[in-house]
Amino acid sequence: MKKFFAQAYLWVVLIVMYAPIIVIAVYSFTEAKVLGNWTGFSFNLYKSLFQGGAGQALTSALINTLIIAVISSTCATFLGTFAAVGIFYTRHKFRKNTMNALNNIPILNPDIITGISLFLLFVALGVNQGYVTICLAHITFCTPYVVLSVMPRLHQMNPNTYEAALDLGATPHQALWKVIIPQVRSGMIAGFILAFTLSIDDFEVSIFNLGNNGLETLSTFIYSDARRGGLSPELRPLSTLVFVVVLLVLFVVNIYNARAARKKQ
């Protein structure tokens, strides 16, 4: 009985949580300009999304978003992994705490603060905002999560393996690449995926650091489109696709992780 109510509660909340996106997904298969009018089943919105017209600006925003996400999450993964190794092996208490505290700032800072502070930095330095500044901004808020994903793997690692490599004749450089990096690889992958999704999702940091050369990411495009009161119907299939892709990736990763964890036990 208790279990029935518990399950019922879960499902009610779940349905409410997923209701908006389900509505959008359903209405992405009809052509009506206004959401709520069902004018018969059609794939036309999906077609126009990928075939110019209103969709063209949207497609270019989508491509920008992906390029920015790939560049910044790759950079963040390397920067963050080396940083995690560096922090992990810092014996000096004060330096270690400083690094950890600095690393936490972008996580704790609201995105709007991160966005504005970087905007003011670039303004103060007289840097033209564009691809470079937005990538730097994304690396700034993604890297801390990579550090936090890699850190637990370093803790799990047998501390003697690095020494064993040195002992067997590897230089510190070789030991890092042949012994430490392979052992934290799963943390790097997790960090990369997290950084990638964070970058794709970001809106508040991006809007301040895009500059005014017409560069748009998906989020900023949706925002300005919605502000113009337009809400292009193409947003429906796009939102649906984004949602489905992100959910699929996360679902697969989580199931995979849960399996791996169970296998370990």
Partner 1 sequence: MKITRFLNKRSSLGIPYFLFMLCFVVAPLVIIVFFAFTDGNGHLTFDNFLRFVSNPKDLNTFVYSMVLSMITTLICLVVGYPIAYILSDSRLCKSQVMVILFIMPMMVNVLVRTLATVALFGWLHLPLGEGALIFGMVYNFLPFMIYPIYNVLNKLDKSYIEAAQDLGANPVQVFLKVVLPLSKEGIISGVMMVYMPTISTFAISELLTLNNIKLFGTTIQENINNGMWNYGAMLAVVMLVIIMVLNMFDKSPEEGGSEMGGLV
Partner 2 sequence: MEKHIIDIRNVSKSFGEHKVLKNINLYVKKGEFVTILGPSGCGKSTLLRCIAGFEQATEGDILIDGKDISDVPPHDRPVNTVFQRYALFPHLNVYDNVAFALKIAKVGKDEIRKRVSKVLKIVGMTDYEDRDVLSLSGGQQQRVAIARAIINRPQVLLLDEPLAALDLKMRKDMQMEIKEMHKTLGMTFVYVTHDQEEALTLSDTVVVMNEGEIQQIGTPTDIYNEPANAFVADFIGESNILDGIMLEDKRVHFLGKDFDCVDEGFEKSEKVDVVLRPEDIYILYAPNLAGQFEGTVTSCIFKGVHYEMWIVTDDKCELMIQDYNAFEVGSRVALIIKASDLHVMKKERLTNTFDAVMVDSNHVEFLDTKWECLPQEGISGGEEVKVHIPFDKVDLMDTVEDGAIEGEVRFILFKGDHYHLRVRTTSGNKDSIYADTKYVYDDRDLVGIKILPQDIEIER
Q: Quick one: which of 42, 171, 254, 257 contacts partner 2 (CB under 8 A)? A: 171
Q: Is the Cβ–Cβ distance between 217 and 61 less than 8 Å? A: yes
Query: What secondary structure letter does DSSP report for 180?
Result: I
Check binding of 7 to partner 2 (CB under 8 A): no
Shorter beta-carbon distance to partner 2: residue 160 or 265: 160
Partner from partner 2, partner 1, none contacting 73, C-beta within 5 to 8 A by type: none
Shorter beta-carbon distance to partner 2: residue 33 or 95: 95
Alpha-carbon distance 122 to 203, whole Å?
A: 18
Angle at Cα 83 formed by Cα 81 and Cα 85, nearest 5°? 70
Alpha-carbon distance 235 to 57, whole Å?
A: 11
Check binding of 165 to partner 2 (CB under 8 A): yes
Check binding of 77 to partner 1 (CB under 8 A): no
Check binding of 90 to partner 2 (CB under 8 A): no
With CA atoms as reference, report the closest residue to 147 among 204, 203, 195, 197: 195
Check binding of 212 to partner 2 (CB under 8 A): no
For residue 66, the tally of other CB atoms under 10 A from its CB is: 15
Alpha-carbon distance 185 to 258, whole Å?
A: 17
Check binding of 224 to partner 1 (CB under 8 A): no
Check binding of 163 to partner 2 (CB under 8 A): yes
Q: Which stretch binds partner 2 (CB under 8 A): 48-56, 77-85, 178-186, 212-220?
A: 178-186
Q: Which stretch binds partner 1 (CB under 8 A): 44-52, 56-64, 66-74, 186-194?
A: 186-194
Nearest approach in angstroms of CB 147 to partner 1 is 8
Q: Is the Cβ–Cβ distance between 67 and 253 less than 8 Å? A: no
Nearest approach in angstroms of CB 47 to partner 1 is 21
Check binding of 18 to partner 1 (CB under 8 A): yes
Check binding of 52 to partner 2 (CB under 8 A): no
DSSP β-bridge partners for residue 30 = 41
Nearest approach in angstroms of CB 56 to partner 2 is 46
Q: Quick one: which of 47, 51, 53, 123 contacts partner 1 (CB under 8 A)? A: 123
Integer CA distances (angstroms), 71 to 75, 84, 135, 248, in order: 6, 20, 7, 22
Alpha-carbon distance 213 to 84, whole Å?
A: 36
